[in-house]
C-alpha cells in the first residue's frame, strides 16, 4: 500500500543558525519534499505575522497546505505517529 497524489505545499519559516530548523529541514529533505524555505532572520514583520498566525515566536514554523503544524518537534511527532506522509501527500491522497 502506498499513497498517490499531488504533493502538499510545504512552507518552512526558519533561521539558518537554529538547530531545530536544520533538524526539520533534514527530515523534509530525506523525504524529498520540494518545500519552500523562507529565512526570517532579522525580518521583524514576518516574525510578527508568524506569531499572530501560529501563536508561537520560535522557528522553525512549518505549514502544510497553508495549515500551521508547528515546529521541528511537532513535525517529528507527526512522523513518529505515521501521520506525516499522508499530510505530505496532499489532501487528495488515496491508498493504492
Q: Do 64 and 74 contact (CB within 8 A), yes or no? A: no
pLDDT in tens, the chain (96 residues): 444 455 899 999 999 999 999 999 999 999 999 899 999 999 999 999 999 999 999 999 999 999 999 999 999 999 999 999 999 998 655 444
Q: Do 12 and 36 contact (CB within 8 A), yes or no? A: yes
Bridge partners for 14 per DSSP = 39
Distance CA(60)–CA(47), nearest Å, equals: 11
- Looking at residue 90, its pLDDT comes to 81
Which domains does the chain show, CATH number per domain?
Answer: 12-90 (3.40.30.10)
Amino acid at each position: 500500500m502506498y499513497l498517490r497524489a499531488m504533493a502538499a505545499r510545504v512552507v518552512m519559516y526558519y533561521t539558518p543558525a537554529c538547530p531545530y530548523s536544520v533538524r526539520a529541514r533534514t527530515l523534509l529533505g530525506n523525504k524529498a519534499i520540494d518545500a519552500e524555505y523562507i529565512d526570517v532572520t532579522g525580518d521583524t514583520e514576518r516574525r510578527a505575522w508568524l506569531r499572530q498566525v501560529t501563536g508561537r515566536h520560535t522557528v522553525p514554523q512549518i505549514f502544510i497546505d497553508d495549515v500551521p503544524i508547528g515546529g521541528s518537534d511537532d513535525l517529528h511527532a507527526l512522523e513518529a505517529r505515521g501521520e506525516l506522509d499522508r499530510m505530505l501527500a496532499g489532501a487528495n491522497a488515496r491508498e493504492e
